């Protein structure tokens, strides 16, 4: 019980025993004041980032609906392993440029950097609508990966910088699930865009998908520059009063110790990549990412060819599983924050994902297989959100969190390559080997979560006994 209380009630101080800034109690805020400040942060931060993440999800995954709308035939993508190549090249740049992006976002400013890269990938997306061969498609998708690389880890880093440890999962879930919910309608929107080709026959339907969605991305990037807020310690923020800003900094310092902005150095990078927790969280997160990409890229194909639904129904039926995953994920996130637990919910979500994938892969009738997609998609999305929060809770230091977030999400790029390779063209239309491969990594994530719980609990017990100081702060305890 003492261990639980220690991990929940944190009044962290700097190493000399005194906080470097006034505590939140010194401001004597009432509950209404605190709620008002948090609401202002929520409103300025979460809707715009969630909307941009929706756009990112749509722009990287619209190749799935384009493929059943004429892309394969027009550019020769349905030959041998060309489709796998076009999918996986996205993740090469995506993996390589995530860490450099998180190293500079604090210096450049969140609004400046995020808006710039969103505008850049919008131009690339438009360009795909005008190409005529699969090589050009692969090249432009590789550039798409380069520009999208900095967006997601930058958003996670920004969000986790504004909230206390047991407030963050609900916010990360809101951000991530907003993208999942709105992108669920992307296929239906794409179905509408295809109709343009019936009156404007110059371009086929799949081309209009890329052109129109690319224009929308560029417009959203311009709007985002005026809306996105910066990090809590930045002078660029003007949406909070001086009192509100000081209160935010004080409550963050009280929660996880005084953390002035740290520069990301090679020493910090080495410290991060030699921390076992980072790799354990990366495995769990990658399992969720593999499943997310699998459903994004291949669910419309499985619905269309594997389950025998029409093109229109394949577009429409891909939305409900994603919407269900939002409801389930938000409930799990609320419960995890309320209980101050993370690992248990990683295990639960992993098991739910495996059950759903079994139903989709091994049942015969279309309806039970389709029900399985609800559980599978809910499980893998929940793995992503819960692991993000678990890592953010257990790493102290601004620079280390920036590195760890980029490393974790960068490693998940391997998950995108993994899903691109295991869902092979020769296994169409049911892609059973690919489904088994996703199940395998979800099982590995559950095992990693079980081991992590045991080790973190042991580390907390040693700290309670005075045998070890965790992350340089005597009162700090790991979240289980």
pTM above 0.95, yes or no: no
The phi, psi pair for 165, rounded to 5°, reads -60, -40
Q: pLDDT (tens digit, 9 = 90+) per residue, 152-186?
A: 999 999 998 899 888 888 899 889 888 877 877 77
DSSP string, 371-386: HHHHHHHHHHHHHHHH
Number of H-type helices and E-type strands within the chain: 22, 0
Q: What is the DSSP letter of 169?
A: H
Least reliable range by pLDDT among 2-6, 358-362, 460-464: 2-6
Cα-Cα-Cα-Cα torsion 440, 449, 455, 103, nearest 10 degrees, comes to 100
Q: pLDDT (tens digit, 9 = 90+) per residue, 66-110?
A: 887 888 889 988 887 888 888 889 988 888 898 889 888 988 999
State both tokens at 175. Answer: 């951000």
pLDDT of amino acid 258: 56
Q: Specify which residues 353 forms β-bridges with.
A: none
pLDDT of amino acid 440: 95
Burial class (CB in 10 A: 0-12, 13-18, 19+), 162: buried
Mean pLDDT of 51-72: 87
pLDDT surpasses 70 at 4: no
pLDDT of amino acid 29: 61
The residues near 284 (Cβ < 8 Å, ≥ 6 apart) are 346, 350, 383, 387, 390, 445, 448, 449
Mean pLDDT of 187-193: 81
pLDDT surpasses 80 at 198: no
Q: Is the dihedral of CA 447, 448, 453, 456 positive or negative?
A: positive
The residues near 25 (Cβ < 8 Å, ≥ 6 apart) are none
Q: What is the DSSP letter of 305?
A: I
Q: pLDDT (tens digit, 9 = 90+) per residue, 340-355?
A: 999 999 999 999 999 9
Least reliable range by pLDDT among 74-78, 142-146, 293-297: 293-297
Q: What is the DSSP letter of 340?
A: T
Q: In 3D, which of 165, 403, 449 has the Cα closest to residue 281?
A: 449
Helix (H) or strand (E) holding 161: none
Which position has the token pair 């086929």? 204
The phi, psi pair for 324, rounded to 5°, reads -60, -40
pLDDT of amino acid 13: 38
Mean pLDDT of the chain: 86
Instruction: Please report which confidence band the pLDDT of residue 261 belongs to, taking 50, 70 and 90 as the band edges.
Output: low
Q: Specify which residues 470 forms β-bridges with.
A: 473
Nearest-angstrom CA–CA distance, 224 and 325: 27
pLDDT of amino acid 52: 95
Higher pLDDT, 57 or 139: 139
Nearest-angstrom CA–CA distance, 184 and 377: 11
pLDDT of amino acid 12: 37
pLDDT of amino acid 65: 81
State both tokens at 86. Answer: 């076009």
pLDDT of amino acid 288: 94
Nearest-angstrom CA–CA distance, 434 and 87: 15
pLDDT of amino acid 6: 37
Q: pLDDT (tens digit, 9 = 90+) per residue, 211-249?
A: 999 999 999 999 999 999 999 988 888 899 889 998 998
The phi, psi pair for 356, rounded to 5°, reads -65, -40
The phi, psi pair for 59, rounded to 5°, reads -70, -30
Nearest-angstrom CA–CA distance, 347 and 90: 30
pLDDT of amino acid 314: 82
pLDDT surpasses 80 at 418: yes
Instruction: Please report which confidence band the pLDDT of residue 390 belongs to, taking 50, 70 and 90 as the band edges.
Output: very high
pLDDT of amino acid 10: 35
pLDDT of amino acid 14: 37
pLDDT surpasses 50 at 8: no
The phi, psi pair for 292, rounded to 5°, reads -60, -50
């Amino acid at each position: 019980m003492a261990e639980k209380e220690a991990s929940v009630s944190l009044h962290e101080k700097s190493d000399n025993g005194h906080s470097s800034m006034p505590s939140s109690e010194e401001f004597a805020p009432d509950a209404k004041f605190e709620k008002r400040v948090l609401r202002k942060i929520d409103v300025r931060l979460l809707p715009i980032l969630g909307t941009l993440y929706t756009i990112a999800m749509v722009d990287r995954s619209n190749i799935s609906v384009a493929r059943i709308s004429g892309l394969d035939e027009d550019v020769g993508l349905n030959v041998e392993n060309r489709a796998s190549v076009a999918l996986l090249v996205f993740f090469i740049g995506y993996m390589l440029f995530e860490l450099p992006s998180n190293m500079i976002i604090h210096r450049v400013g969140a609004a400046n950097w995020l808006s710039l890269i969103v505008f850049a990938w919008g131009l690339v997306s438009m360009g795909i609508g005008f190409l005529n061969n699969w090589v050009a498609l692969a090249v432009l998708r590789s550039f798409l990966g380069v520009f999208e690389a900095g967006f997601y880890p930058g958003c996670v880093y920004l969000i986790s910088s504004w909230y206390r440890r047991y407030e963050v999962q609900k916010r990360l879930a809101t951000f991530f699930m907003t993208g999942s919910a709105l992108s669920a309608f992307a296929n239906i929107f794409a179905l509408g865009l295809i109709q343009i080709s019936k009156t404007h026959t110059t371009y086929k339907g799949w081309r209009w998908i890329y052109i129109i969605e690319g224009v929308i991305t560029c417009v959203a990037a311009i709007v985002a520059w005026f809306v996105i807020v910066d990090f809590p310690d930045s002078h660029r923020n003007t949406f909070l009063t001086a009192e509100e800003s000081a209160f935010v900094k004080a409550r963050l310092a009280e929660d996880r110790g005084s953390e002035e902005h740290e520069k990301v150095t090679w020493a910090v990078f080495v410290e991060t990549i030699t921390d076992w927790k980072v790799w354990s969280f990366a495995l769990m997160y990658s399992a969720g990412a593999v499943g997310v990409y699998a459903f994004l890229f291949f669910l419309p194909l499985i619905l269309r060819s594997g389950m025998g639904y029409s093109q229109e129904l394949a577009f429409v039926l891909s939305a409900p599983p994603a919407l269900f995953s939002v409801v389930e994920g938000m409930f799990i996130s609320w419960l995890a924050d309320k209980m101050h637990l993370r690992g248990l919910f990683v295990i639960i979500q992993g098991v739910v994902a495996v059950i759903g994938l079994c139903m989709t892969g091994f049942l015969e009738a279309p309806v039970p297989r389709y029900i399985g997609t609800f559980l599978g998609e809910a499980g893998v999305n929940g793995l992503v959100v819960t692991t993000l929060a678990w890592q953010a809770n257990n790493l102290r230091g601004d620079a280390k969190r920036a590195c760890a977030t980029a490393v974790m999400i960068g490693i998940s790029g391997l998950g995108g390559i993994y899903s691109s390779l295991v869902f092979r063209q020769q296994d169409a239309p049911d892609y059973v080997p690919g489904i088994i491969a996703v199940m395998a990594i979800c099982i590995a994530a559950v095992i990693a979560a079980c081991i992590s719980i045991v080790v973190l609990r042991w580390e907390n017990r040693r700290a309670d006994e005075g045998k070890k100081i965790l992350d340089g702060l005597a009162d700090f305890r790991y979240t289980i």
